[in-house]
Every structure is written in C-alpha cells, then in structure tokens.
Amino acid sequence: MNTDGFTITNIIVGVTCLISFFMMQNPAGKSALIMHPVTIKQRQQWYRFISSGLIHADGMHLLINMFVLWSFGNAIETIYYPAFLGEGSAVMYLLLYFGGIVVASIPSYLRHQDNPNYAALGASGGVSAVVFAVIIFAPWQNLYLYGIIAIPQIVAGVAYLAYSWHKDKRATDNIGHMAHFTGAVWGFVFTGLMNPELFSRFVRLTLQGPSWL
C-alpha cells in the first residue's frame, strides 16, 4: 500500500503517536492497555499483547521507536516485501510488525505472570522485527547511528542481539531487552520462511562482504 505517502507504516506511526500522546495524560487508560502479565493471566485480557505496543513511557521512547519504524518500515513495505514476496505483501507486513509485538511479549508474560509489580509497554518488539527483516534483504547496507555514523546492518544487528542478550541476563535496568531480542529473531525468521530462498541469499551476500572491499 503506497498512495501519496499513505503507507501502512505511516498510518501505524500516526495512530501510535496519537494513542501514546493521549495515554501519557491518561494513567487509567494506559493501565488498561499496558502489558501486565498478572492481569492477562487472571482475566484473560489477551488484547494487551497488542495494545501495549500502541503506548509508550514518554516522548523520547515514542520518538526513537517511531523514527526507526518510519525509516525501516517504509523500505520493507514499499521495496523489499513487494519485490521478493509479491501479492499479499501488505498482509505479511502487518503480520511482521504486530506479530513482532506479540512474540516479543511472550517471554515477559511467561517470566512475570505471577509478578504483580511487572508491566511493560512500547512497540520495540515490532520495530526490532522490521529492522531485522531489512537485514535479511540487505545485510551490508549501511544504517546511520545518530544519523551520522555509518555501520553495516549485519554488524549492527549482531551487536544488537549480543547486547540485548547480555543485558537481559544481567537485568540491571527496567528495559525489556529480551523483547528486543525476540522481536528481532521473529522479524528475520518470519521473513525468511515466507521465501526460503532469502536464507541462502542472505548467507551468500554476507559471505561476499560489502561492495567496497
């Protein structure tokens, strides 16, 4: 879907920004949408696996997630998925993104379903899924850290996975690092399984190295 800028990605970004801004001023509404494993278990409010991805802790949390989604999501939706997957690519893109949000929340749910003090929010799982979907198509394409520092996507991706795994094991902050890790794996595997030739293509491109070598 791409009609005069009204891509699915841009719609998701707009809707998420509106809901997030509104809920930042509405604690009761945020509480009803947030990922709270105990409540899900007790009341079967499974919708929270999705709704928690529509709210964010603050403006910076929202800005980072939506900027990355806007940057990578439009590339997946308008370039890579249509070219490699053909018809139905829009539906697959929605499954990629929202599936990433859901899958990324599963480890937290299993780990904290009896912990009433745990809650999580944000679209990081879906955003990670979209980023790693791009990586399977173009491993050596540069992404720009802080908009300036060029880093090959495959290098940044491996570092991101290692960092997320390490930080989750240490558990020294309130960030859902395992959600980031799980969402990233979902994006890569889900995209590859839709067209298994992408896995061999990814290996071939990765072994070839960047074009400037």
* pTM of the predicted protein model: 0.91
R_g (Cα) of the chain, nearest Å? 17
- Per-residue confidence (pLDDT) for residue 195, from 0 to 100: 92
The superfamily in CATH containing domain 8-208 is: Rhomboid-like (1.20.1540.10)
Contacts of 69 (CB under 8 A, 6+ apart): 9, 12, 13, 97, 123, 126, 127, 130
Mean pLDDT, each 10-residue run in order, the chain (213 residues) = 73 97 95 96 96 93 92 94 91 97 94 92 94 95 74 88 76 66 95 94 92 59
Rounded to whole angstroms, the Cα distance separating 30 from 61 reads 15
Phi, psi of 103, deg, nearest 5: -60, -40
Ordered alpha helix ranges (H), 25-152: 27-33, 37-43, 48-51, 59-75, 81-85, 89-112, 124-137
- Per-residue confidence (pLDDT) for residue 5, from 0 to 100: 64
Domain spans, the chain: 8-208
CA 200 to centroid of chain Cα atoms: 23
Rounded to whole angstroms, the Cα distance separating 76 from 49 reads 23
